[in-house]
Amino acid sequence: MEKTIHHGRNVKRFREMFGIKQEGLAYELGDDWDQRKISALEQKEVIDPIILEQVAIALKVPVEAIKNFDEEQAIHNIQNNYDSSVVNAGPTINYKCNFNPLDELLKSLEENKKLYERLLQAEKEKNELLQKLVDKLK
C-alpha cells in the first residue's frame, strides 16, 4: 500500500516551520496571490509542478522537499534518533580520562619554568658580553 504525500499539507508545514503567514507567502508569490488562494493551495493533495516550484522558491526549499516530506516518517526518525542517542549516551557521560589533567598542568608549568630559566641564563650571558664590550671601549 503506497502512501500518497499531500503537497498542500507539506507547503503548510514548511510555511509554519519558517514562521511565515499565508499573507506573507502570498506576497512572495506575487500580485495574483492572496491569503484565500494560499489556503486553497494548502488543501490540495497534488499541486501543479510549476506552482509547486514557485512556492518552493518562495519558501527557499527544494521542490523535492515539498514533494517527498512525510511527517510520520520525520517523527519516526526523530524518535528513533532520540531514543538511540539516549542508549548510546552512556559511554560519553561516563567518559574516563586516561590522563590526569592536573598532572598535565604541572608538566606544562615545569616546562615553562625551565624555559624561563634558560631565557634568564641567555639574558645573563648577553649582559656579560655587553659588559665586556663596554669595558674594552673604555
pLDDT in tens, the chain (138 residues): 567 788 999 999 999 999 999 999 999 999 999 999 999 999 999 999 999 999 999 999 999 988 888 777 777 677 777 655 554 544 445 556 677 878 889 999 999 999 999 999 999 999 999 999 999 988
Q: Does domain 7-87 have CATH number 1.10.260.40?
A: yes
* Residues constituting the chain: 138
Q: What share of the chain is helix, strand, coil (3-state, %, to 5)?
A: 75, 0, 25
Sign (positive or negative) of CA dihedral 62, 11, 75, 86: positive
pLDDT for 72 equals: 74
CA dihedral 65, 71, 77, 78 (to 10 degrees): 100
pTM above 0.85, yes or no: no
Cell of 114: 625551565
3-state SS, residue 59? helix
User: In terms of Cα–Cα distance, which of 4, 17, 2 is closest to 45?
Assistant: 4
